[in-house]
Structure 1
């Protein structure tokens, strides 16, 4: 991260005009992640491809604070994502402004990560060391933050003896339809030395039924080998996780339940069955040396009529403070005619899919 202290800069340039300067700083930061991957089956064929964001999506951002005195400060954050390989831009990144107090907590308004990201995802590998490809099938619980909450107001408390909590409300922004495509939730976290735990609940009403509300239309698994766009009358995600550090090894367990009801095809309005996913994950991260970390996980996901088994391994080697190289492999097996779809890949024509990839990542 590159930090600019505007107080000293402004003082040098504008000293003749002003005798005071508030303590303000702005940080330019980001990451670039690119590599190569082999996928065993995509629509019946092996695939060899250049990748962008196999662990972290590539992005750049600006964040800053201004000291308001009395332990309070104003803050902001603006990010923009992109593909290193294609140059395509992505807007599913946070943009917000707010206030932070050492005793009262943090209040932010804007386009933000939801409470699943803040309080649950850190106990999964997709929300931690593993990254993008380690997401649960279809990222059904949003642990990989496939979507952010627009029009949102979020509060995070200060820590009190290791306990903290938060809440979020994202507005529909539709006249006369206050509840259409709104989202809200609560969450809590507890940390005490090597032990950490979190729980979160998020609900959305009428997801995707308007273009100005909290979320865009849901991506849900359809029949055969497809993933379809759908509108959802109600979406509930409840999730809990915990971790424990044993020296250089951190063990974690995570559970989530995602329920989509009132599902309709976004193209023709036809009714579709309600869908519920339960995800059970165990994982371990070992800091084998100051430069080398190893991670692994197993996930079982159940959707009543179908289920998925997913296992993954990853090795990351630090070449410097900012640059590392990595290798990883993910295998997924689906049952009952459901598609095997490792996150960010197109579906397999069979019940199995294997991804093996390597890449380089640079942070600034």
Structure 2
């Protein structure tokens, strides 16, 4: 009888322990087709992975430590649906962090922030929710920053207000970095050299949520391996503010961003040649506005206009977008997005991801101009030329 009671007690303890901790496997899969004009050789029809959002697979878990405190973790990888490979440079290249959370004092995380770098929180105030043609396009991927060696704190929600701070060490021998391995940004238009590493980065966010509107402000800085702000699209300071307002089924968006790279030099831009009459940009002003209309419970239509102006003669560009999604179920939806960029005579921004159309006049492989020397074929338009693209795809989540 004692053995039976002991076995029952052990089983009961095991059930309680299991109830106090959890591990969840999750992911999303996104694949589609894109048509784009104005690239070298003419137009292209391409199969794409992640036009609405990068495909991902991951694990997250929590363990109840008592007193309202939980230990948490998250491991997340990006997936390329065209070949089955992982993305972002490493197995869990989107995030690998562990931390503690408590409803009273907030959440602390440490590890590889990856795609959770604080600039990516700006999707909240982007009408296109950081789809492929969105808030990141006219700043050549700057708002898709990634960072490692991260320490982060998020406050609890206090009367609608949330504060967040993030600090990403360079892991180099001095405070800001010294050209060592650092941590890989993962994109942002780098083609070689500095693109393999970064120096110290940090940022802070304040956000206020009410029933009908949201306000957000983010300060973010990313340094090159030598601790400098040497490329306005890659290693720079960013100040961003925006908000949304909901009126029934309609949601309005507006925002502004200023990028600054006071240490800009040829090395920071991978020795890219500048367009005629221009010198290296040290600042970009970026503003946008848009609207989302929930036409039916399963149909959403969004439209937005983005405008950016770079100093030192680098011109301006305007992006026009129209997108829609249709939910087939709670987990699966179809999507489509159209985008058109109009460039001034000294601007050549395209509908790429920062890799495909970095700053600078083209290398030998790019007859249309644009792109840093050594970048390979540049998929951006030539200076003063526009570019149109459209995509259609399917996303499912689990």
Q: Secondary structure at the match of 1:315?
A: strand
Mapping of residues 66-77 of structure 1, within 5 Å: 66-77=63-74
Aligned position for 1:277: 284
Say whether residues 1:174 and 2:180 are aligned partners: no
Aligned position for 1:154: 152
Within the candidate set 20, 25, 28, 2:25 is matched to: 28
Within the candidate set 115, 118, 143, 1:115 is matched to: 118
> Which whole-Å CA distance do the structure 1 matches of 2:268 and 2:247 have between them?
51
Residues 336-358 of structure 1, C-alpha deviations (whole Å, 9 max, x = no match) = 23213113352123510000111
Aligned position for 2:382: 349
Is contact 2:138–2:319 with CA below 8 Å preserved after alignment? no
Aligned position for 2:195: none
> Which whole-Å CA distance do the structure 1 matches of 2:267 and 2:84 have between them?
29
* Pairwise CA distance, 1:73: 0.6
* Pairwise CA distance, 1:320: 1.1
Aligned position for 1:187: 205
Is contact 1:198–1:242 with CA below 8 Å preserved after alignment? yes
After superposition, the Cα gap between the structure-2 partners of 1:277 and 1:329, relative to the gap in structure 1 and judged at 3 Å, is same
| Structure of greater Rg | 2
Aligned position for 1:8: none
> Which whole-Å CA distance do the structure 2 matches of 1:275 and 1:41 have between them?
27
* Pairwise CA distance, 1:190: 0.7
Say whether residues 1:330 and 2:328 are aligned partners: no
Q: Secondary structure at the match of 1:21?
A: helix
After superposition, the Cα gap between the structure-2 partners of 1:317 and 1:269, relative to the gap in structure 1 and judged at 3 Å, is closer
RMSD (CA atoms): 2.8
Number of residue-to-residue matches in the alignment: 330
Q: TM-score, normalised by structure 2?
A: 0.76
After superposition, the Cα gap between the structure-2 partners of 1:353 and 1:65, relative to the gap in structure 1 and judged at 3 Å, is same
Report the more deviating stretch, 273-282 or 194-203.
273-282
Aligned position for 2:107: 106
Aligned position for 1:125: 127
Mapping of residues 294-313 of structure 1, within 5 Å: 294-304=301-311, 305=313, 306-313=315-322
* Pairwise CA distance, 1:161: 0.6
Return 5+ residue gaps in structure 2 as ranges: 1-6, 178-198, 273-278, 357-378
> Which whole-Å CA distance do the structure 1 matches of 2:125 and 2:12 have between them?
53
After superposition, the Cα gap between the structure-2 partners of 1:64 and 1:356, relative to the gap in structure 1 and judged at 3 Å, is same
Mapping of residues 229-268 of structure 1, within 5 Å: 232=235, 235-266=236-267
After superposition, the Cα gap between the structure-2 partners of 1:266 and 1:31, relative to the gap in structure 1 and judged at 3 Å, is farther
Q: Secondary structure at the match of 1:117?
A: helix
> Which whole-Å CA distance do the structure 1 matches of 2:388 and 2:141 have between them?
22
Return 5+ residue gaps in structure 1 as ranges: 1-10, 221-229
> Which whole-Å CA distance do the structure 1 matches of 2:201 and 2:282 have between them?
19
Is contact 1:125–1:131 with CA below 8 Å preserved after alignment? no
**Higher strand proportion (structure 1 or 2):** 1
Aligned position for 1:225: none
Residues 190-223 of structure 1, C-alpha deviations (whole Å, 9 max, x = no match) = 1111111010101233x2449xxxx9x9694xxx
Q: Secondary structure at the match of 2:120?
A: helix
* Pairwise CA distance, 1:111: 1.6
* Pairwise CA distance, 1:273: 2.6
Residues 129-180 of structure 1, C-alpha deviations (whole Å, 9 max, x = no match) = x51232433545733x2x31210101110011111111111112112x1122
After superposition, the Cα gap between the structure-2 partners of 1:269 and 1:280, relative to the gap in structure 1 and judged at 3 Å, is closer
* Pairwise CA distance, 1:266: 4.6
